[in-house]
Amino acid sequence: MNTADALPTRCEVLVVGSGAGGATTAAVLAEAGLDVVVVEEGEWIAQGEIVPFSLEQMERQYRSGGVTVALGRPGIAYTEGRCVGGGTEINSGLYRRPPADVLDRWRDQYGIADFAPEEFDSIADEVEEELSVRTVPGAVTPSSGLLRDGSDALGWRQSEIPRWMEYPEGGSATSGRRRSMTETYLPRARRAGARVVSGCRVRRLREAGRGVVVDVEVAGARREVLADHVFVCGGAIQTPALLQRSGLRRDVGASLAIHPTVKLSARFPDEVNVGDDVPVHQVKEFAPNLSFGGSASHPGLLALALSDEWPQFGQVVESWRHMSVFYAAITSEGRGRVDALPGFQDPVVTYRLTRRDRDLLRAGLNRLALVMLEAGATEVYPSYRGAPVVRGRRDLADLAARFSANRASVMTVHLCSTVPMGESERCPVDSFGAVKAADRITVNDASLLPDAPGVNPQAAVMAIAIRNARHFAARRSGGRT
């Protein structure tokens, strides 16, 4: 289902990207009376049109089929949404506000002006109401209960993380409908007059006089759109790449922050697999440095988690109904880069783990295996080359001794901080996302977060994007552009 609008030649505000940052930006500005056009490289796919976590979804809603790697030792796989609604259409819907000390650190270390916690919390309240953020009605899925029970047996702090889901009366954990951007803020934007154009790739931006010339490719043809102002909301990889292609390079893309994760698969006596959903419990005993959670465990993804040691592990995939995939995520000290190079359509992404990061990944995988054993796992299969099968506590020392980050399948779904906001000299945009080296270009997505928040970043992205868009609309209505 494609409900895209036609691409105009002129508009007041053009928003590049339709995810958590772009959709909220569009809604706020359109509802303030501005003429808004949202352009999105991917297609518009209605919820329910394809199976969650399926190969079809990866082909149609993920960039590069969901397989993209930040170069380094090790290479780190990452995922990006490439569809109307962006990452909100493909993620698990888990929602958590960043801790107050994280917001304070961002304000103080990066010099973010007018960054009041009261305003942030007020906007977050609005977001949570719009997205129907809530816990699961009734019992959680079996794999979620395993995380809860295993951590409780160890006396480790855990909790159920709420989701932006709408559940029918008397619904269950798997009956929810995700309140993604195509269900919430994009319809709001369109009701206020905004147009959403899918299948439209923005190649570069060029300020000219009192506007921005936007060079786009749509339906195989090159076009130009003249906008009074452009909001770049393409995510932490595509946003810095577009700015760089547009000649805006200073301090852009040089500070990529992520939450690196390592995984394992665990087999249990009973059936536990729910292939089209994820566990809602997370273990935060060692937060903010380390946390544990559950991944999608579709049979294909389970096979992928076993693939690092396939000759030894591969045969157990036949028991997939008794298995689930879990992860250990860290808040990394390392940083990465995003570089748009001439002649390449996609940017080159690199990332370097520190020694502390590597040690923390080892400790995290070891502790996660212990949680699984305490939850009743009969075998644990770590996702790294040369890994042993863990059947009891006596095997944990062997797991740790053999582990090397360079042999592990390290990945991330949380990307941020490539265009950090603030008044500090190291920030390429100001406290509200306006590009310092340009007059009519603003960034408003995960790129702005000064560092990785230690929790799912979407709550922070949406609250900050709404804050910044309101600031822009207020200045615009006051006659200052």
Strand partners, 444: none
- Taking the C-alpha atoms of residue 156 and residue 162, their distance in angstroms, rounded to an integer, is 19
Token pair of 446 as six digits: 């995960």
CB of 481 closer than 8 Å to CB of 469 = no
Active site residue 414: yes
Give the pLDDT confidence of 251-265 residue by residue, as tens digits. 999 999 999 999 999
| 1 has pLDDT over 80 | no
CA distances from 380 to 123, 215, 296, 325, 392 (A): 42, 51, 17, 10, 9
Catalytic residue, chosen from 229, 322, 414, 471, is 414
What pLDDT, on a 0 to 100 scale, did the predictor assign at position 4? Answer: 58
Closest Cα partner for 330 from 286, 269, 386? 286
Q: Single out the residue of 465, 430, 406, 17 nearest to residue 237, CA to CA.
A: 17
Long-range contacts of 427-435 (CB under 8 A, 24+ apart): 427/110, 427/111, 427/251, 428/243, 428/248, 428/250, 428/251, 428/252, 430/113, 431/111, 431/112, 431/113, 431/114, 431/115, 432/467, 432/468, 432/471, 432/472, 433/231, 433/468, 435/243, 435/248
The C-alpha atoms of residue 248 and residue 459 are separated, in whole angstroms, by 28
pLDDT tens profile 142-163 = 999 999 999 999 999 999 999 9
Output the CA–CA distances (angstroms, integers) from residue 419 to 70, 257, 309, 331, in the order listed: 17, 11, 38, 19
How far is Cα 74 from Cα 238, in angstroms, rounded to an integer?
22
Residues 288-327 have pLDDT tens digits of 999 999 998 988 889 999 999 999 999 999 999 999 999 9
The two tokens of residue 328 are 């250990």
pLDDT of residue 275: 73
Average pLDDT, the chain: 94
Q: Is-cis flag, bond preceding 74, omega within 30?
A: yes
Tell me what pLDDT residue 3 has.
Answer: 47
Residue 481: band (very low, low, confident or very high) from pLDDT cuts 50, 70, 90? very low
Model confidence pLDDT, tens digit, residues 373-409: 999 999 999 999 999 999 999 999 999 999 999 999 9
Burial 277-313 (b: 16+ CB within 10 A, else e): bbbbbbbbebbbbbbbbbbbbbebbbbbbbebbeeeb
- Structure confidence by residue, pLDDT tens digits, 28-70: 999 999 999 999 999 999 888 888 777 788 889 989 888 799 9
Quick one: average pLDDT of 221-235?
96
Q: How far apart are CA 86 and CA 105, in angstroms?
A: 28
Give the global pTM: 0.95
pLDDT > 90: percent of the chain: 86
pLDDT for the residue numbered 479: 60
SS3 7: coil
CA 397/CA 439 separation, integer angstroms: 57
